[in-house]
A and B are shown apart, each in its own frame.
Chain A
Amino acid sequence: MIKIPQSVYDEIVAHALKDNPIEACGYLAGINGEVKYAIPMKNRDASHEHFSFDPQEQFDAFKKTQKEGLRLISVYHSHPETPARPSEEDIRLAYDPNVSYIIVSLAGNEPDMKSFIIKNKTVEKEEIKII
């Protein structure tokens, strides 16, 4: 289970809507499964069907959270036109076993956010608890 403050949940959704139709992406910083804040990242691909992080920006986020005693516990990205489930590409590129993967779909009438643990190409749904 990942615990997300309502304010952070709203921020992720707002980021997805703002960048639409480009995929929005970012890290969630936290500790012990509880998110403290979101770190919006630039989508280097600037695409409606792909995203990737800039390595320098990744290290900047990493070092900031380290100094605060936090970790990068989740990665989020939006699916502007498809459901909130990991695509084949999402699964193939989920190399980091230490984070959960959150997807925000804008395909329906309302934004839909789901979280997944992806390890060794196996996907497991993770409960999101809004706090």
Chain B
Amino acid sequence: MKLTINGDSKEIKDGIVLSELLIIENVEMPEMVSVQLNDEFLTKEEHAVTVLKAGDEINFLYFMGGGA
């Protein structure tokens, strides 16, 4: 199925959940990303149970912060 991931159209196997997609996308610290599915935020708990569908738009951004 075709998904749009961070603006890029990609072919991804059917039936995967969001947490699997983050692994495919080489996200090493999935707990440190915020995810929007079709412009709606997903909670961390939803990552493992949200099944993706063809045409979904997924954006993920890393937590951004630091010190001094």
B41 (CB) vs chain A CBs: closest residue: A55
Cβ contact within 8 Å between A95 and B68:
no
A52 and B64 CA atoms in complex are apart in Å by 6
Q: Which of B6, B59, B61 has the most CB of A within 10 A?
A: B61
Cβ contact within 8 Å between B34 and A59:
yes
How many chain B residues touch A (CB < 8 A): the figure is: 18
Contact A93:B68 (CB < 8 A) given known A55-B34, A59-B36, A59-B61: no
- Which of B6, B41, B63, B68 contacts A52 (CB under 8 A)? B63
Cβ contact within 8 Å between A58 and B66:
no
- Give B residues with C-beta under 8 Å from A: 6-7, 28-29, 32-34, 36, 41, 59, 61-68
Listed A/B pairs (29) with beta-carbon separation below 8 Å: A23-B68, A49-B68, A50-B66, A50-B67, A50-B68, A51-B65, A52-B65, A55-B34, A55-B41, A55-B61, A58-B61, A59-B34, A59-B36, A59-B59, A62-B61, A80-B68, A87-B66, A88-B67, A89-B68, A93-B65, A93-B66, A93-B67, A94-B66, A95-B28, A95-B29, A95-B32, A95-B62, A95-B63, A96-B64
